[in-house]
Amino acid sequence: MKDTVSDTPSTPAPASSPPAVPERAPPPVSATPSRSLWWVAVVGLLLLAVVALVMAYQTQQQLRDLERELVARQQTSQDLATEARTLARQAQDVVRESAAKTAVLETRLAEVALQRDQLDDVLQALSRSREENMLIEIEAGIRVALQQAGLTGSAEPLVSVLRSADERLQRLNQPRLERVRRAIAQDIERVRAVAIADVPLLVARLDEAARLADELPLLSSPGMAVAERAAADAPEAAASAQDWPQRSRDLVAHVWQELRSLVRVTRIDRPEAMLIAPEQTFFLRENLKLRLLNARLALLSRQFDTVQADVRQAQQALERYFDPRSRRVMQVADTLRQVQAQARASQLPRPDETLSALQAVAAGR
């Protein structure tokens, strides 16, 4: 094809070519390859621009996403910080409350510990002072019993207190208190060995004698003695009431006794007893009762010498003016002899052994 222009450039003529022909204007170069390259470059640039735009858009989107994420994270961090501050405040409040409660609990614990220590001290003091208190009580009881024994004239209060103390010590069962028990046993034997007048019994006997004073027959009035003997024989007569022969014999004996009583021969050693007028018998009995009452008051006052004197005078009056053959007179005389024999002044022994043992044990504690 003639119109086709070769793309290849024309080669220059060699130097050995014929003389140069007048140079002609070079033919115009074709613009097709340059345009292709240009379009290629433009397309490449467009692609690059598109790619750059796409990448820029993606980068922008990523930046926006990152910005959103950062904003969200910042907001979350602020919220978390706010919540953390709130929780921190609450935690501080809780810590302060806990600290206050802990301080209160520590104070109460200290008080409880102090109270426990005090309670332990009290318990130890109680456990230590139990025996000491018991020893003090025993000693106080013995001293009170001594006072009661001195007032009543009887050793029973003292013996009772010593026995009770021995039983308490036996229940406690402490070896170091055995010496106290031995001392108590010795004091009980010493108190029992002493004959102490039983004042209540003697007072009762004197009261009985004073009560019988109005019924005692006098030597000047033998009719009372005869009536007393008849009253004493009445049960025997009643027992033999169904025995007619015996009853007849008793009747005859009674009649004969009545006949013999019409004439009575009596030896009188003390004529003054027969010369007492009937109106003086009242004063005689009252004088006897006054003697017995004086002896009673002296016995209650522990004036045993006065008791002996009054009882002796009552016995003399009983022997001088009253019928010694009467059963009641003999009963009163026997009562007065018993009172005179038992109304003796005797010193109640003190339980010094027990008191000394108690003081020794208390001092050794």
Render 75-121 in DSSP notation, one character per residue.
Answer: HHHHHHHHHHHHHHHHHHHHHHHHHHHHHHHHHHHHHHHHHHHHHHH
Candidate from 8-12, 290-294, 314-318 with smallest mean pLDDT: 8-12
Higher pLDDT, 78 or 235: 78
Candidate from 97-111, 126-140, 202-216 with smallest mean pLDDT: 126-140
Q: How far is residue 247 from each of residues 139, 234, 258, 260, measured CA to CA in Å?
A: 72, 12, 16, 20
pLDDT at 263: 56
pLDDT at 346: 62
Q: How far is residue 75 from each of residues 65, 69, 173, measured CA to CA in Å?
A: 15, 10, 86
Token pair of 241, please? 């009431």
| Distance between CA atoms of residues 308 and 336, nearest Å | 10
Within 10 A of 124 (CB to CB), how many other CB atoms are there? 10
**pLDDT band for position 145 (50/70/90)?**
confident
Torsion over CA: 73, 74, 80, 83 (sign): negative
Higher pLDDT, 21 or 40: 40
pLDDT higher than 60, residue 116: yes
| Distance between CA atoms of residues 271 and 320, nearest Å | 10
Most confident of 152-161, 288-297, 302-311: 288-297
pLDDT at 264: 56
∠164-169-171 over CA atoms, to 5°?
95
| Distance between CA atoms of residues 341 and 308, nearest Å | 9
**pLDDT band for position 272 (50/70/90)?**
low
pLDDT at 15: 43
Give me the mean pLDDT over the 165-182 stretch: 84
Token pair of 286, please? 């009252």
pLDDT at 8: 40
The whole-angstrom distance between residue 127's C-alpha and the CA centroid of its chain comes to 12
Token pair of 44, please? 């490449």
Query: Position of tokens 């009372």?
Result: 224
**pLDDT band for position 197 (50/70/90)?**
low
Q: Considering the chain, what is the average pLDDT of its residues?
A: 75
pLDDT at 196: 67
Residues 6+ apart with CB under 8 A from 134: 168, 172
pLDDT at 343: 76
Cβ atoms of residues 323 and 225 within 8 Å? yes
**pLDDT band for position 357 (50/70/90)?**
confident
Amino acid present at 68: R
**pLDDT band for position 81 (50/70/90)?**
confident
Higher pLDDT, 235 or 38: 38
pLDDT at 38: 79
Give me the mean pLDDT over the 249-264 stretch: 70
Cβ atoms of residues 114 and 134 within 8 Å? no
- Whats the size of the chain, residue-wise? 365
pLDDT at 16: 44
pLDDT at 226: 47
Q: How far is residue 333 from each of residues 100, 105, 144, 316, measured CA to CA in Å?
A: 96, 89, 38, 10
**pLDDT band for position 14 (50/70/90)?**
very low
| Distance between CA atoms of residues 32 and 7, nearest Å | 10
Give me the mean pLDDT over the 14-32 stretch: 49
Q: What is the pTM of this model?
A: 0.43
**pLDDT band for position 244 (50/70/90)?**
low
pLDDT at 212: 86
Give me the mean pLDDT over the 190-199 stretch: 73
Q: What Rg, from alpha-carbon coordinates, does the chain have?
A: 72
